[in-house]
A and B are shown apart, each in its own frame.
Chain A
Amino acid sequence: MKISGSAQLPFPPERTYELMQDPAVLSRAIPGCEALERTGDNEYRMKMKMMLASFSGAFDGKVRLIDPNPPNSFRMVVEGSGKIGFMKGDGALTLTAKDGGTEVAYDGDAQVGGTIAAVGQRMIDTTARMMIKRFFEKLAAEA
């Protein structure tokens, strides 16, 4: 599944970049995130709860931020698994100054498996979009 789009944040790129590397901020902004702990350089362990169609479940996963190019771009690699299946995502985020804030463009691939694929397929796309939207809304509220 391809995921791409963009969001506008009310901070300059430097501040946006900094916020998006801060585990405390990320844990507040990622929908369903219950814990995010740093395990190494740019590497985090994450627990999150996800609801999709008729089921919900906890994911245990890893978030890695790679190819850092502050304040312009970085890549985010997410892997998680839990009783409802697994998810893998890999996306490039590009930050551009725009209208006094920052436009964050994202472009990536996501893959799901297990129950989440078998019974949630038709909802995955919209759920992913909704979660991304919420993530950026929460991030914007960090002002």
Chain B
Amino acid sequence: MSTTTITRPEKLVGKRIRRREDPRMLTGTATYVDDVKLPKMLYAAFVRSPHAAANIRSIDISKAAAHPGVTAVYIGQDLKDVGSVVCGVDLPGLRKPVHTVIATDRVYLVGHAVAVVVAKDRYVAADAADLVEVDYEVLQGVSDPERALAPGAAAVHPQWPDNVSFKFEQKGGDIDAAFAEADVICKQRMISQRMVANPMETRGCVASWHAADRALTIYTSTQIPHLARTILAGMLGLDENRLRLIAPEVGGGFGCKLNVYPEEAVVSWLAMKIGSPVKWIETRREHFLTTIQGRGHVDYWEIAAKRDGTILGVKVKILQDLGAYHQLLTPAIPTLSVLMMPGLYNTRNIHAEIIGVFTNCVPTDAVRGAGRPEATYGIERMVDILAAELKMDAAEIRFKNFVAADQFPFATATGLNYDSGDYATTFHKALDMIGYKKLREEQAAARQQGRLVGIGISTYGEICAMGPSPAVAAGGWESATVKVEPSGKVTVLTGISPHGQGEETTFAQIAGDELGVPIDDILVLHGDTSIVQYGIGTFGSRGTAVGGTALYLALQDIKEKVVRWGQLLLDSTNVTFDGGLCVDATTGKSVTIQAVAAAAYRAMKIPAHSEPGLVATRFWEPGNFTYPFGAHIIHSEVDPATGQIDIKRYVLVDDIGNILNPMLVDGQLHGGASWGLGQALWEHAIYDENAQLVTGEFMDYALARARTMPWLESSHTCTPSPVNPLGVKGVGEAGTIGSTPAMVNSIVDALSPLGITHIDMPLTPEKLWHLISAPQEAR
């Protein structure tokens, strides 16, 4: 104990602290699933159907089983005791097909597994998989949701010949009156095309069985370690506390690892059956065929407005291409589109219908924004279409309809409660940054010269921080444990499962500020169900807003304990704790948190009503979602000779509440924008009329690349969220959601002098060139 001059350590929150995850990645020493190598480990390869729909007449495994180096070959019947793949969603009347982990009598999509080979290495396994002979009776498949609904279409599941899985309807206000009162009604059919998730690291898992303990360890590349443990334990008939699931380094997820897949159960079953560890790593080609995809919407939008631009009502009919099965959240994704269909606009009247359609394609599910990008794209296109119809400026019509800053919390017509916002201020900032008025003048001048110059606006909102438990399929709370070790080092255990979001850094910033310890003294652990208390995981821009809040609350508990120990050690009741020091306000004497920790574990004396140790765990249930928003504006020009797009400027102003680390926020927004532009301009998972995927590798499926990305002029406004004490909203999906409509609006604006009012994505140069070259009536 000593009297010290108190110099508070500099605050960590708000600083551009470098990612503490990066050294191991940059030095190639991170442990991904494929880096896990266990003694006597075997390798699995799946035999997959080349047909979208077929009956399996017979399977001959004899040649494969006899192949040198092969341990075993199994078919669907062998795994009949393994539970089927889980869908966590219930909707009224939802038809859920039974999704066995390996097909038994019929295949429903190209890539459907029909057998699995286990061998001494992955090359032998792949060679032997080619020797499995399957006799198929080929049936007609269907890939297009509109064709699947047409009379006479092939039935994906014979028991449901209409190919409808569910219908959903939601109404708010008086939509009929709104449309009756309207001066203008605009309608547009638009497609949000199927997209492949494509993280750099594909899926993969390693399972190891410890028979004497009836214990299984699974390493799997997942966003939801605990939920995956619970689900897999159920599928395998294991006690969940004897199943240890480890998400090691995860090389991106983008939603596709917010799931539990057949392969994870099969590989686990193989390890149990054979008694040796088994590994399977998804190839990129398998990823294209078998991992959930995003979007798959055909949407029919209608917007009704007064002559002055006031929006009176919005309708949408969504045909959701579900694929052949429901994965974990498949049917829930289009309901998120419905929730966000009003966007940022003060629209009291809505009507939405969803028809969930089975097709012979890989299931759709939560990918890159999950349902909200489709909604934002739809409403932001419709507002532009309405503005064009009314000959109003695209910015003016938005200002006219924004929910005003004094209306928050704002109850939407879809039943949400927007937490906080100031849409006009954010939009003004973006317009100022790009010099909107002058740019419009330049555009008018350029058009005089016949140039195709466009300005595209997207004022987007999103629903984040998933979310209140009653509104989320598997619970929406999150957990954190803080352990101040005897040495004063701090270990944080979080229930979220970061895979690129950087919470090992931001959570260390939060803990460092609250406890006043150096950031290097803090270790953030996650993704191991034997180390971390139960958690929900990372998705829906929830990591910091929900998991960070649980951490913040656990830190408050620690601080209360520290004060009690400080009172004991300083023999005073007048003790405060700040900047890592307990200070007796009367004497000025102080004691460090490190000294407190040592005393708390040594426990020579214990404060009244307290206990030894310095550990706290909190589970936090959010009271609401959070609602980030922003304005993205893209200035572009199309070359009429080639259809090539030149993005001249891209300004984005995002309001994500308080910012913990501006560098990480930049990274999330840049990555998000590259996905969003990818959808607008390049990406498209195409199935042909026989439901064959014809874009099954990167030669046929284009992603954004560094050289195709524009410079992003990024800024922020800050409207803290009242939902959590950190005031944060979430940033993981903002870039994806905001960028796509801005890009498409920009190009449609550029081509509007040609009479073009809408173009379906992706806006490839070829597509634009054909439109520009076509005679007026054919556009």
Contact = CB atoms under 8 A, between A and B. Distances in A.
Interface in B683-699: 688, 690, 692-697, 699
Contacts of B110: 113-114, 117-118
Contact of A122 (B130, B692, B699): B699
A37 B700 CA distance: 37
Contact of A118 (B51, B130, B690, B697): B697
A113 B692 contact: yes
Contact of B690 (A81, A113, A115, A119): A113
B625 interface: no
A83 B285 contact: no
Contact of A85 (B50, B688, B699): B50
A122 B693 contact: no
A54 B698 CA distance: 12
Given A117-B693, A118-B693, A53 B51 contact: no
Interface string A90-132: 0000000000000000000001111101110110000000000
Given A113-B110, A118-B285, A119-B700, 10 more contacts: A54-B699, A111-B690, A113-B51, A114-B50, A115-B50, A117-B692, A117-B694, A117-B696, A118-B697, A119-B696
Contacts of B675: none
Nearest to B52: A113
Nearest to A111: B690
Given A113-B690, A113-B692, A119 B50 contact: no
Given A118-B110, A118-B694, A119-B285, A113 B50 contact: yes
Contact of A119 (B51, B52, B130, B697): B697
A6 B50 CA distance: 31
B324 to A, nearest CB: 16
Q: Which 5 A-B pairs have the closest CB atoms?
A: A118-B696, A114-B50, A83-B130, A121-B694, A117-B692
Contacts of B52: 113
Contacts of B697: 54, 118-119
B281 interface: no
Nearest to A124: B694
A61 to B, nearest CB: 13
A119 B692 CA distance: 11
A112 B51 CA distance: 10
A117 B690 CA distance: 11
B699 A115 contact: no
**What is the interface of chain A mostly: helix, strand, loop, or mixed?**
mixed
26 contacts: A54-B699, A85-B50, A86-B50, A113-B50, A113-B51, A113-B52, A113-B692, A114-B51, A114-B110, A114-B692, A115-B50, A117-B110, A117-B694, A117-B696, A118-B285, A118-B289, A118-B692, A118-B693, A118-B694, A118-B696, A119-B696, A119-B697, A119-B700, A121-B694, A121-B696, A122-B700
Contacts of A114: 50-51, 110, 692
A58 to B, nearest CB: 9
Interface string A64-90: 000000000000000001010110000
Contacts of A81: 50
B219 interface: no
Contacts of B694: 117-118, 121
Nearest to B692: A117
A124 to B, nearest CB: 9
B288 interface: yes
A24 B266 CA distance: 47
Nearest to B129: A83
A114 B690 CA distance: 11
A114 B694 CA distance: 9
A112 B690 CA distance: 9
A115 B696 contact: yes
A117 B110 CA distance: 10
Contact of A112 (B289, B692, B700): B692
Nearest to A118: B696
Contact of A121 (B51, B130, B690, B695): B695
A111 B110 CA distance: 14
B126 to A, nearest CB: 9
A111 B50 CA distance: 12
Interface string B408-424: 00000000000000000
A34 B531 CA distance: 58
A117 B688 CA distance: 9
A143 B398 CA distance: 77
A117 B691 CA distance: 10
Contacts of A53: 699
Nearest to B131: A83
B149 to A, nearest CB: 24
Contacts of A112: 692
B371 to A, nearest CB: 27
Contacts of A111: 690
Interface string B466-509: 00000000000000000000000000000000000000000000
A85 B285 CA distance: 13
A39 B291 CA distance: 42
A27 B366 CA distance: 51
A121 B697 CA distance: 10
B699 A119 contact: yes
Contacts of B696: 115, 117-119, 121
Nearest to A123: B699
Contacts of B692: 112-114, 117-118
